[in-house]
Amino acid sequence: MDGGHRALRNVFPYRLLTVAMPTDSGPASGPKFVFVTGGVMSGLGKGITAASTGRLLENAGFDVTAVKIDPYLNVDAGTMNPYQHGEVYVLKDGGEVDLDLGNYERFLDADMTFDQNITTGKLYKNVIEKERAGDYLGKTVQIIPHITDDIKRRIRDAAAGHDVCLIEVGGTVGDIEGGPYYEAIRQFAHEEREEDVLLTHVTLVPYSKNGEQKTKPTQHSVKELRSIGLQPDVLVGRCEDELDADTKEKIALFCDVPTDAVFSNPDVEDIYHVPLVVEEEGLDEYVMEELELADDARPKAERASQWRDIVTREQSGTVTVALVGKYALEDAYLSIHEALKHAGLEHSTDVEVLWVDAEEMANTHEQRLREADGIVVPGGFGTRGTTEKIAAARYARENDVPFLGLCLGFQMAVIEYARNVCGLDDAHSTEMETETPHPVIGLLPEQYDVEDLGGTMRLGAHETDIESGTLAAELYGEHCTERHRHRYEVNPEYIEELESAGLRFSGRANNRMEILELPDHPFFFGTQFHPEFRSRPQRASPPFVGFLDAAIDERERPVSEVEA
């Protein structure tokens, strides 16, 4: 393997004059670090490229973890609008993070923590608090070394105890917000052994109108990286198709990397096929050689193949699922889409998701409920779309259509039952209607005095006790531990009345209602928690598996049995 290009990190004269800054903790001797940056435009798939690399390294026998760097000033993603940033993903420790952490958990089949998400807000908050406490002993607190040192410390802490740590830098090279992170990476590369650090750069390779793959955007992106003292070791080209041999050679020539360090990551129908594509390109083998891990890897014939077996499993038939939400983009409900896909893999069935805009349901989207084999009402906040979500729950209940309500969807099902079965007219949640005469959904007691919105909900993993002889017990067993993100709950004052009318709360956490079901319905199931966050391709979420099983049965039901 020609390792000469690795020395390019040190060819810039001004870099030789760099003085190593003091760090809070010394360089780690064990883990290997793979930094993944992006150029030209955001949303190229840096996270999927990194996660796919991690999947292949795990197949080869290595313990892999990940860090996602988000350069925004928010401390976490909890207060962000899904339209801007996609879904807020919740970790087991209650961290509210970017959806890319969800991809890492799904690809690596691992549980991440809030420490594995670095944001500029988190960094500055920590450094300023330390300054106020006098921890810097009168020094002038600056971006370098104090912010960059904190970045490096967090990366090393997250990597401790693992063989490989993947670090994805959000945004694109050249963004003003990313400056401190690129400087930290530059320092990091000097402080660690050369064979312990690898820089992968993901860029766009577009087509011209005459069908030619254009390398100029990649060249400019790498030029931008080099201007701040970073030379990529690996280049991954995102293109509609595989990169031509001539394109790879041109990129290698103008970006100073070997031709065999240039890889294709073409468009695929399913993101779970990306590890298979980059494996065929040899990306994993190249990374292991560069990091001097090849001798410790499992022989190819002995590497884990479960991922390939699952994602290439032949599918028979299609189930349609209506997703009733108010954010008209897939990223806002990404984990639900993925959990449905995982359940489909387990049933060897394709899942087609029919988007139902809650606000348009009565006018143009109601037909989609009738077309669907099952209905999912997801979580959310605020009044908009709740009337239609309640209507969707009623339609599913009255027409024996499989129903899965998640968090807010669970609460909407309670409200619907209170109104239309218990006869509690105008029953509602105090989140949407503070003066409702029947507050069947109310604020959690511990939320009464909460003023700050960020990070103050009931968050993270909590255990639920499950009643025997119920659908919940059939799916989960005696207990389950799932992730939460809510401020409101079923009002304890209405539980007896609801259950007397036939609604069954089959899962509880002390006096808190966690799971509901209807015993005489093919599948009517709601959870206060978010089971989608723990679903994996190799380990589909139990409620989604049960829901899809019922939806497959619904698909076979004669149309004449379904009310119009």
Please say whether the beta carbons of 173 and 182 come within 8 A: yes
CA distance 475 to 540: 11
Instruction: Find out whether 341 is annotated in a ligand binding site.
Output: no
Instruction: Find out whether 557 is annotated in a ligand binding site.
Output: no
Please say whether the beta carbons of 368 and 386 come within 8 A: no
Instruction: Find out whether 221 is annotated in a ligand binding site.
Output: no
Instruction: Find out whether 497 is annotated in a ligand binding site.
Output: no
Query: Residue 532 catalytic?
Result: yes
Instruction: Find out whether 506 is annotated in a ligand binding site.
Output: no
Instruction: Find out whether 176 is annotated in a ligand binding site.
Output: yes
Instruction: Find out whether 219 is annotated in a ligand binding site.
Output: yes
- C-alpha separations of 180 from 70, 117, 152, 407, 472 in Å: 12, 16, 11, 38, 49
Query: Residue 416 catalytic?
Result: no
Instruction: Find out whether 364 is annotated in a ligand binding site.
Output: no
Instruction: Find out whether 448 is annotated in a ligand binding site.
Output: no
Q: Which two tokens stand for residue 26?
A: 């010394």
3-state secondary structure of 211: coil
Instruction: Find out whether 145 is annotated in a ligand binding site.
Output: no
From the list 5, 484, 486, 530, the catalytic residue is: 530
Instruction: Find out whether 102 is annotated in a ligand binding site.
Output: no
From the list 192, 482, 532, 554, the catalytic residue is: 532
From the list 407, 422, 480, 517, the catalytic residue is: 407
Instruction: Find out whether 431 is annotated in a ligand binding site.
Output: yes
Instruction: Find out whether 380 is annotated in a ligand binding site.
Output: yes
CA distance 477 to 455: 31
CA distance 160 to 442: 43
Q: Which two tokens stand for residue 146?
A: 């104090």
Instruction: Find out whether 237 is annotated in a ligand binding site.
Output: no
Instruction: Find out whether 44 is annotated in a ligand binding site.
Output: yes
- The DSSP 8-state label assigned to residue 193 in this structure reads -
Dihedral angle computed from the Cα positions of residues 555, 560, 563 and 564, in that order, rounded to the nearest 10 degrees: 100
CA distance 22 to 13: 22
- The DSSP 8-state label assigned to residue 213 in this structure reads B
Query: Residue 239 catalytic?
Result: no
Instruction: Find out whether 528 is annotated in a ligand binding site.
Output: no
Paired sense of beta strands 479-486 and 458-466, if any = antiparallel
* Sign of CA pseudo-dihedral 99, 102, 107, 113: positive
Please say whether the beta carbons of 543 and 527 come within 8 A: yes
- DSSP per residue, 61-94: T--EEEEEEE-SSSSSSTT--HHHH-PPEE-TT-
Q: Which parts are annotated binding residues for ATP? A: 43-48, 100, 268
- Binding residues for UTP are 42, 214-219, 250
Binding residues for CTP: 42, 175-177, 214-219, 250
**Binding residue numbers:** 42-48, 83, 100, 168, 175-177, 214-219, 250, 268, 380, 408-411, 431, 487
- Residues serving a catalytic function are 407, 530, 532
Binding residues for Mg(2+): 100, 168
